[in-house]
Structure formats: structure tokens, C-alpha cells
């Protein structure tokens, strides 16, 4: 930035005549042969039956156990396919978007298989990056036990692009010591949750009752869904936003009522995302938080270790469970892969029941097969509330490539932040968010 | 550093020597252009080609799907511009950028000039200390500086709030307080350039002119206004244009300090807005359109400024 400013200043310093000369040159350039911006061809031309398969997986915090599970899966694959090498690379989660985009842009340096967040499926399909594997997936006997929500997370327009690796759901973490000290019950409804949060903050002003974040979209969604709202309605393959429907507005109202001096002050909580709320809980600054099964390690590492428990996030009617967002990761075959058959085989090995069961033992990632998930829950009581949440019916984001754009341009965080900072009321903010979402859906289809 | 102090010092000779001197260029026909050719080719490659691509992309439908071959690149005409100008957020961001940049330029120039004058008045040791402090600020990468400022003004652990007794006041929550915080950081990291350049200029003011002024009984302010400032005008001109360009394009400070544009995008400036459009949501063509608009605005500001100066009879 400094450099260009300097160059610009120098250009100015050399006088207006040079500017004129440059303008002339620019004109000359425009009339010269037009060079179109780069477009790459990601479609594969061959399907080789030997060689090296390259795989990109996410580098998790404490990645060693994952590596061991993956190595075992690769070894099993190697038994069946002698003469095929597999190269695994663990890519940092923070820069995954750039890495995967770069892989789409330059098929020569792209891997054959890639792990990706399940909300990105539709966007990557539109980008032309992922290969369709519907036929292979449906013919695969293990895939029959795939959880329906997980299956939806690899499906776009009825076609399947990859296989689910694990699911992640969020539930309510709460401080057992605080609840005991104040003599209060764990809330069993949404209204109870909100009043309990405020009651705790009143009794203990240095604790957030329930830590919430204006940028924590996936923590807010259950409130919207529990009230019968939807993010978007599908009809005939096109999506239309529904965040400004009366039911959705009720949910937004409920979530945003948690921001304020009686629970989580807007000045601090408006900018918080999911990680910040979990950190607040783990460090003992919140009595409750909405965290995922994947937040377990972070909370265990904090000062509240041994003083907390988890229950499903309550829904509107007492005793019900609010629908959670079914997050998680998938593995897909890149469209540019020149080893398609082998890659699909390796995909089955990496996402099969055996690997997912081991991955749960090693990392605590919830399996995407209903039977494997049930077995895992029996082994580890901690995951029980999460399995219960999944069983009560988890939901997924709209399977439209427009969702990637809605997510990236922070449409929903902006809506929540506008409401909690008092800039707009629920009606105006949700109308505007719906307008932006519709524009994104329209431009994506 | 030597480059920067040398550069602006040279034009200082202008007003003294060849103010109304004969115009040298244009007399020799094509020969000067021949000598300039190598430089122009390099400039063309580094400046014109990227700008050409920027302009071209701004007329296309060009998102990630087009880059990686999922969809065909199509010509969209002025569609991206229509979308941009039809977006009320764009106008808000544009207004915020102009006001914010203007405030930054004024504050930077005021602080830089004041400290440059101070530098000429103090003894060697405090001068050295001030110089070193300024150079330290200058040498700090923007991202480091921004992170440190955010920490200093942190509502929970920041020393500034404790010092001022502000409790847990969050600087980044309110729109204006967040802009103020960023403004302070921008001024902090860009005043040294102004200070050093203007200081060099002041040192180049001939002593006899100042002596004559004081013999005529001119006050300090009068000497600055009627003697020093006119001699410094070419320097101030370069410094101002540079600051305008610099502050109009602020990115790192806003991106780091307000976490990508602040609560509900309240602290977005054009550059961050373009980044959010072009890279965060992969709408490269829309981002390019914002880039073109920025380029035109900066070009217009610079040309108008140059024109004003030339009308007053100054030669750069």
C-alpha cells in the first residue's frame, strides 16, 4: 500500500505531462488485442488407474490422533490398490478458503480429494470444483445408514457431491456450580432460558447469564427455527428468503432480547462470534453458552473444567428441543482429478463407518451414520445431549450457491447487530436482510 | 528513507531558482520521449496493464464460478456499476470514506507540520528523541500498530481506559468512537512522513530570508505565513496529495481494528468494502467496479488540485 502510494506520488511529481502520456498509453492498451481475464478448465480428461493421489484435510487443533486414523484408512486403501501412492496434506483451517479457491483455479496443483465445511457444498459445486458421485454413493452399501441431514449436506439439486465425514451440533453448556448456588433449575423452554439468563446476571453481575454473539449466526438459528421460522423457502429449485416472516421475526426477537445490560451488554456482545462466546464460558465469564460437541476440548482446557454440564437447547414448548444447525465437514472428489475411480475408492475408505468410528474415539467428531452414532453415544456419555439434539431433527442452510455469498457478506450478523445496537427494529432489519438474501439467491441461480 | 527526504527536498529549489524559467521539455521534438521510453514501458507494464484488467473485469460477470470454469464469463456492460450505484450501502460507505479521509489528512498534516516546526526549535537531544520516536512509529507495520492500538484501547484489559477512568467503555462499539480510534492510529503511523519531509523543507529555507523578515519586525506567525509557508508550498503539495491517496485507501487499520468493518458494517471504508465484495464473497467483477470508482475519484481529486496550483502560477 505504501509502495503504490509512493509510486502515485512520484507520478504526480513528474508532472501532468507524464499523466497525459500514461493516459495515451492506456488508450493504446485498450485498443490493442483484448486479453480476457483468466478462466481455468477444471474438467478432468482422464481416469488413470495408478499413480499418486493427493488429499487435503483440515489441520485440527491437536491433529495427531486424526493423522493416525487417516493413516489407518489410507493403509486399508493401499492393501486393495497396490502401486498407488497417497499423499496427505493437512491445510490450516484459517486459510482453507483461499487454498481451495486456488485449487479450483489451478487444476494442475489441485489435490484429488479435499475436506470442506458442509455449508460450502453448493458454492463449490457452482464454482465447478467438485465432481458428482451420485451413482457411486448410492451403490455404496455403507451410505444407506447415512443420517438424512448429513446426506442433505452433500446434495445439490438432487445430485451428490462427496461424502459426509462428521457432523457437529450445538447444545446448551451451563455451569452446575452457579445453578446450584442460586438454587435454580435448568431451563426447559426458550422463555425459561431467557428469564434464567437474566436472573443469573442480576444475581451475579460479573457473569453473562447466557453468552450470545451478534456475529454468532449458528447460535441464533435455533431460536429462529424453534419459533417455526425458516431461513429460506424453496419452490421449484429457487429459494426465497423467509427471515422476515412473522415466525422468524419472533425467533429473532427472542435471540436479540438476550443482548442488553440485563444479560450480555450489547457494547461487548454485539461483535462476538461463536468462538468468543465459548471462550467467555470456558474462562468462567458466562453461566451458560451455546457450544458444539467440538467445543468440548476448549471448555475442558478452561477454568470451568468439572463445573459444567450440557443439555439440548430448549425449544418453545416446555420439554422440547430447539432444532440445531447440522454443521460438520465433508470430503469431496475434485472435478479436475485425473484418478476419479481411485479417488472415489479412497473417499469411501476415508469416510467409511470404520474410519468414522475411530475418528470419534480419537477426536470426538460425531459420526454421520445413524448406527455408528448410536454406538458412539453409548461409549461416551458426554455426547448424549448432542445425539439427542440430532435425533430431535437438526436443520441445514439452504442448499443454494447463494448461501456462500450470504454467509461471506455477513447478511445475518449485520441484521442481528443492527437490532441489538438499536439502529433498526426487528421488522426493518429483517426486511433488509431478506432483500439482500433474495438478491444473492437470484444472482446465484 | 533517503529517497523520501531527497525527493521533496529537490523541488524546494524550484521557487528560488527557476520559478518562471524557460520550459525545457517540448523543445527537442521526439528526443525526450526516446529517453523516456524505457521508463514509460516499465510504468505501462506496472500501472496501465493492471488498470486495464481492472476496467475490463468490471464490465464482466466474473465470480469464483467463472474463474474456476464452472460457468462461462459473460459481458455485463454497466451491470456491475448499476448494481453498485443502486446499493444504498455504497453511498454510505463512500460518504464515510471521504469524510474519514479528509479528517485523517487534516489531522496528519496538522500534527506533522506542528512537530516539524517544533523540531527546528528544540535542542539536539530532544530533537533526536522525537525523531527516533517518529521513525519508530513509521517503521511499525500497519498490522502490528493496529493490533497494539486495539490492545491499548481494550475495554477489559487496556491501559488507556484505566488511565482515563473510562471503565469498560468499548471504543469499537459506537460508530464515531471507532472511527476516532482508527483515525488516531492512522495519524500516528503517517505523521512521521509529513514531519520529516516538512522538516527537511524548513531546513532548506535560506537563513537570510528569515533574518530579513525578523529585521522587518515580522512576528513568528507572520514569518510562517508569508515566508516559510510559500517556500514550502511545493512540499506541502506533494505531502497533501500523498496523504489524500494514502488515507483514502486505508485498509489495514479498519480491517484489523474494527474486525473487518465494524458492527453491522458501520466502519466500512471503500477499500475494505471492495475487499469484502471482491475476495470475501468472490464477486471479483463488483470489487473491480469499486476499484475503478476509487481510481476515478482519486484521479479527479489529484487533477483538480494540480489545476488549482497551476492557476496560481506554481510549477511543480
How far, in Å, are B88, B110, B308 from residue B243 at the CA level? 28, 12, 18
CB A219, CB A402: distance < 8 Å: no
Q: Is A8 on the interface with B (CB under 8 A)?
A: yes
Q: Which CATH architecture has domain B88-282?
A: Orthogonal Bundle (1.10)
Give A84-139 pLDDT, tens digit per residue: 999 999 998 888 888 998 898 888 889 999 999 999 999 899 888 999 999 999 99
CB A319, CB A50: distance < 8 Å: no
Q: Would you state the pLDDT for residue A181?
A: 95
Q: Is B7 on the interface with A (CB under 8 A)?
A: yes
Alpha helices (runs of H) in A163-245, residue ranges in sequence order: 176-182, 190-203, 217-226
- CATH numeric code, A51-168+327-391: 3.40.190.10
Give CA–CA dist B150/B163, Å, rounded: 15
pLDDT (mean) for A390-408: 88
Which chain B residues have a beta carbon less than 8 Å from that of A286? Answer: none
How far, in Å, are A304, A359, B279 from residue A333 at the CA level? 41, 20, 24
DSSP letters for A103-130: HHH-GGG--SEEEEEGGGHHHHHHTT-B
Rg value, chain A, Cα: 25
Closest by CA to A151, choosing from A164, A142, A139, A140, is A164
Give A5-19 pLDDT, tens digit per residue: 444 444 444 444 554
Residue A373 CB partners (closer than 8 Å, separation 6+): A147, A366, A367, A387, A390
Q: Is the pLDDT of residue A260 over 50?
A: yes
Structural domain spans, chain B: 88-282
Q: Would you state the pLDDT for residue A356?
A: 95
3-class DSSP assignment, residue A82: coil
Percent of chain B exceeding pLDDT 70 equals 89
Q: What's the gap in Å between the CA of A208 and the closest CA on chain B?
A: 14
What ipTM, to 2 d.p.?
0.77
Give A203-230 pLDDT, tens digit per residue: 999 999 999 999 999 999 999 999 999 9
Structural domain spans, chain A: 51-168+327-391, 170-320+410-444
Residues B202-234, buried b or exposed e (16+ Cβ, 10 A)?
bebbeeeebeebeeeebeeeebbeebbeebbbb
Q: Would you state the pLDDT for residue A17?
A: 52
3-class DSSP assignment, residue A252: helix
For residue B31, the Cα-to-chain-centroid distance in whole angstroms is 35
CB A410, CB B265: distance < 8 Å: yes
Percent of chain A exceeding pLDDT 70 equals 92
Residues A49-75, buried b or exposed e (16+ Cβ, 10 A)?
eeeebbbbbbebeeeeebeebbeebbe
Q: What's the gap in Å between the CA of A364 and the closest CA on chain B?
A: 31
The CATH superfamily assigned to A170-320+410-444 is Periplasmic binding protein-like II (3.40.190.10)
Q: Is the pLDDT of residue B15 over 50?
A: no
Q: Is A284 left (phi over 0), alpha (psi -120 to 50) or beta?
A: left
How far, in Å, are A110, A136, A335, B65 from residue A340 at the CA level? 13, 11, 8, 21
Q: Would you state the pLDDT for residue B29?
A: 78
Task: Select the residue from B11, B14, B64 to test the A interface by mutation, using most A Cβ atoms within 10 A.
Answer: B64
Q: Is the pLDDT of residue B109 over 50?
A: yes
Quick check: do A51-168+327-391 and A170-320+410-444 share a fold? yes
Give CA–CA dist B126/A32, Å, rounded: 58
How far, in Å, are A193, A202, A220, A257, A283 from residue A179 at the CA level? 13, 13, 23, 21, 17
Pairing label, strands A51-59, A113-117: parallel
pLDDT (mean) for A20-47: 59
Phi, psi for residue A72 in degrees, rounded to 5: -65, -40
Confidence of residue B312 (pLDDT cuts 50, 70, 90): low
The four Cα atoms B35, B41, B42, B43 give a dihedral, to 10 degrees, of 100
Q: What's the gap in Å between the CA of A318 and the closest CA on chain B?
A: 34
Nearest by CB to A9, which of B44, B47, B245? Answer: B245
Give CA–CA dist B77/A157, Å, rounded: 30
Q: Which of residues 60-119 of A touch B (CB under 8 A)?
A: 101, 104-105
Q: What's the gap in Å between the CA of A413 and the closest CA on chain B?
A: 7
The pTM for the full model equals: 0.83
**What 8-state DSSP symbol labels residue A313?**
P
Amino acid at each position: 500500500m505504501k509502495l503504490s502510494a509512493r509510486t502515485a506520488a512520484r507520478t504526480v511529481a513528474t508532472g501532468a505531462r507524464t499523466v497525459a502520456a500514461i493516459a495515451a498509453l492506456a488508450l493504446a492498451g485498450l485498443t490493442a488485442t483484448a486479453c480476457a481475464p483468466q478462466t481455468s478448465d477444471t474438467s478432468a480428461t482422464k481416469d488413470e488407474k495408478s499413480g499418486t493421489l493427493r488429499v487435503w484435510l483440515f489441520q485440527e487443533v491437536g491433529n495427531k490422533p486424526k493423522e493416525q486414523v487417516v493413516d489407518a484408512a489410507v493403509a486399508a486403501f493401499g492393501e486393495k490398490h497396490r502401486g498407488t501412492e497417497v499423499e496427505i496434506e493437512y491445510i490450516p483451517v484459517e486459510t482453507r478458503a483461499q487454498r481451495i479457491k486456488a485449487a479450483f483455479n489451478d487444476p494442475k496443483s489441485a489435490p484429488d480429494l479435499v475436506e470442506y465445511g458442509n455449508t460450502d457444498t453448493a458454492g463449490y459445486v457452482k464454482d465447478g470444483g467438485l465432481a458428482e458421485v451420485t451413482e457411486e454413493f448410492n451403490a455404496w452399501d455403507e451410505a444407506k445408514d447415512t443420517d438424512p441431514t448429513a446426506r442433505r449436506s452433500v446434495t445439490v439439486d438432487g445430485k451428490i457431491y462427496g461424502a459426509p465425514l462428521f457432523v457437529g451440533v450445538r447444545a446448551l453448556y451451563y455451569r452446575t456450580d452457579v445453578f446450584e448456588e442460586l438454587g435454580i433449575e435448568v431451563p426447559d423452554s426458550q422463555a425459561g432460558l431467557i428469564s434464567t439468563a437474566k436472573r443469573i446476571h442480576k444475581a451475579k453481575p460479573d457473569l453473562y447469564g447466557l453468552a450470545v454473539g451478534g456475529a454468532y449466526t449458528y447460535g441464533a438459528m435455533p431460536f429462529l427455527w424453534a419459533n417455526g421460522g425458516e431461513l429460506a423457502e424453496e419452490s421449484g429449485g429457487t429459494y426465497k428468503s423467509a427471515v422476515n416472516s412473522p415466525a422468524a421475526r419472533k425467533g429473532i426477537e427472542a435471540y436479540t432480547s438476550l443482548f442488553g445490560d440485563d444479560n450480555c451488554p450489547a457494547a461487548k456482545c454485539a461483535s462476538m462470534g461463536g468462538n468468543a462466546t465459548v471462550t467467555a464460558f470456558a474462562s468462567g465469564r458466562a453461566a451458560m453458552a451455546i457450544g458444539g460437541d467440538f467445543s468440548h476440548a476448549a471448555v475442558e482446557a478452561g477454568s470451568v473444567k468439572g463445573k459444567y454440564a450440557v443439555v439440548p437447547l430448549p425449544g418453545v414448548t416446555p420439554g422440547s428441543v430447539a432444532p440445531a444447525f447440522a454443521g460438520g465437514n465433508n470430503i469431496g472428489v475434485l472435478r479436475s482429478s485425473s484418478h476419479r475411480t481411485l479417488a472415489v475408492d479412497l473417499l469411501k475408505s476415508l469416510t467409511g463407518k470404520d474410519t468414522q468410528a475411530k475418528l470419534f474415539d480419537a477426536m470426538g467428531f460425531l459420526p454421520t451414520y445413524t448406527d455408528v452414532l448410536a454406538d458412539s453415544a453409548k461409549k461416551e456419555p458426554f455426547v448424549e445431549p448432542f445425539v439427542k439434539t440430532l435425533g430431535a431433527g437438526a436443520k441445514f442452510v439452504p442448499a443454494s450457491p447463494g448461501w456462500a455469498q450470504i454467509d461471506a457478506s455477513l447478511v445475518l450478523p449485520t441484521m442481528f447487530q443492527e437490532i441489538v445496537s438499536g439502529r433498526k427494529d426487528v421488522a426493518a432489519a429483517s426486511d433488509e436482510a431478506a432483500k439482500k438474501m433474495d438478491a444473492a439467491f437470484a444472482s446465484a441461480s | 528513507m533517503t529517497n523520501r527526504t531527497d525527493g521533496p527536498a529537490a523541488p524546494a529549489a524550484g521557487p528560488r531558482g527557476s520559478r518562471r524559467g524557460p520550459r525545457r521539455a517540448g523543445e527537442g521534438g521526439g528526443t525526450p520521449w526516446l529517453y523516456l521510453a524505457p521508463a514509460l514501458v516499465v510504468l505501462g507494464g506496472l500501472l496501465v496493464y493492471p488498470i486495464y484488467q481492472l476496467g475490463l473485469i468490471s464490465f464482466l460477470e466474473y465470480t469464483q464460478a467463472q474463474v474456476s470454469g464452472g460457468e462461462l464469463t459473460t459481458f455485463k456492460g454497466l451491470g456491475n456499476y448499476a448494481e453498485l450505484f443502486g446499493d444504498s450501502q455504497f453511498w454510505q460507505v463512500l460518504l464515510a470514506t471521504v469524510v474519514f479521509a479528509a479528517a485523517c489528512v487534516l489531522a496528519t498534516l496538522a500534527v506533522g507540520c506542528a512537530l516539524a516546526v517544533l523540531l527546528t526549535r528544540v535542542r539536539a537531544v530532544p530533537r533526536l528523541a522525537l525523531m527516533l520516536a517518529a521513525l519508530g512509529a513509521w517503521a511499525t507495520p500497519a498490522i502490528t500498530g493496529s493490533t497494539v492500538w486495539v490492545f491499548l484501547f481494550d475495554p477489559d484489559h487496556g491501559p488507556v481506559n484505566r488511565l482515563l477512568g473510562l471503565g469498560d467503555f468499548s471504543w469499537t462499539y459506537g460508530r464515531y468512537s471507532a472511527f476516532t480510534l482508527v483515525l488516531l492510529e492512522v495519524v500516528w503511523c503517517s505523521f512521521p512522513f509529513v514531519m520529516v519531509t516538512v522538516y527537511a523543507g524548513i531546513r532548506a529555507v535560506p537563513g537570510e530570508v528569515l533574518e530579513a523578515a525578523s529585521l522587518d519586525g515580522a512576528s513568528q506567525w507572520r514569518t510562517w505565513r508569508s515566508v516559510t509557508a510559500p517556500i514550502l508550498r511545493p512540499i506541502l503539495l506533494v505531502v497533501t496529495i500523498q496523504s489524500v491517496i494514502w488515507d483514502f485507501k486505508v485498509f489495514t487499520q479498519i480491517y484489523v481494528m474494527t474486525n473487518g468493518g465494524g458492527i453491522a458494517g458501520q466502519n466500512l471504508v471503500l477499500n475494505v468494502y471492495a475487499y469484502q465484495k471482491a475476495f470475501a464473497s468472490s464477486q471479483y467483477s463488483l470489487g473491480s467496479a469499486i476499484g475503478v470508482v476509487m481510481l476515478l475519484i482519486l484521479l479527479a481529486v489529484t487533477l483538480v488540485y494540480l489545476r488549482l496550483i497551476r492557476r496560481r502560477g506554481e510549477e511543480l
